[in-house]
Chain A
Amino acid sequence: GAGVSQSPSNKVTEKGKDVELRCDPISGHTALYWYRQSLGQGLEFLIYFQGNSAPDKSGLPSDRFSAERTGGSVSTLTIQRTQQEDSAVYLCASSPGRRTSYEQYFGPGTRLTVT
């Protein structure tokens, strides 16, 4: 079946612009996670969704970052007033979200470059 998809695959933006990154999870997966992969910081957790709610936003680095999930499916990560330090690969993962089945399946990522 279809895996996790993310769009765009690459995004180049100018400093100060807003960007939206999209994640389409595996159908039926209730849990959705965003991570960031950068050279300096490695792989970092950003935010966790269970359904449309985000009970854990502890990894969002600043208030310029926000995310939402609608219909228990698609999620959008928005970065406002982008800075060069936001350049990274943004990964989305989804999971059945059950105690007996919580393995995360990752998308290919969106590579964001802020110039």
Chain B
Amino acid sequence: GDSVTQMEGPVTLSEEAFLTINCTYTATGYPSLFWYVQYPGEGLQLLLKATKADDKGSNKGFEATYRKETTSFHLEKGSVQVSDSAVYFCALSDSRGGSNYKLTFGKGTLLTVNP
């Protein structure tokens, strides 16, 4: 079945540091890929997505590129802020032509950014 593997945390960075959170996936079809973020005390929010190979999703300074050849969707940000401290989840969805877009999530990576 489908699966997502992301780097284990926690990740601790200083403000303005470069961030990479690795994510690789296994899927039999052609999934869409997502990064979700969960800020402390809040619900899951979609951060960015990519629906086909070589697409780049971007939002709030974060970027991730759908790499089919390496089955990866690594999250990057050039300069993190304290406000980026959160848990980040990589996820995939493959409806296989139907209407069920259920998400398969990675385990999550806790990011802490210190001033």
Interface residues of A (CB under 8 A from B): 31, 33, 35, 42-45, 48, 50, 55-56, 59, 91, 93, 95, 97, 99, 102-109
Interface of A is mostly: strand
* B43 sits at the interface (CB 8 A): yes
* B17 sits at the interface (CB 8 A): no
- In the assembled complex, the Cα of A56 lies from the Cα of B102 at a distance in Å of 9
A-B pair count, CB < 8 Å, reads 53
The answer on a CB contact under 8 Å between A43 and B101 is no
- In the assembled complex, the Cα of A35 lies from the Cα of B93 at a distance in Å of 14
Task: Count how many chain B residues have C-beta atoms less than 8 Å from C-beta atoms of the other chain.
Answer: 22
Contact residue among A44, A95, A108 (Cβ-Cβ distance under 8 Å from B101): A95
Contact residue among A43, A56, A99, A102 (Cβ-Cβ distance under 8 Å from B89): A43
- In the assembled complex, the Cα of A95 lies from the Cα of B34 at a distance in Å of 15
Most chain A CB atoms below 10 A, which of B91, B95, B102: B102
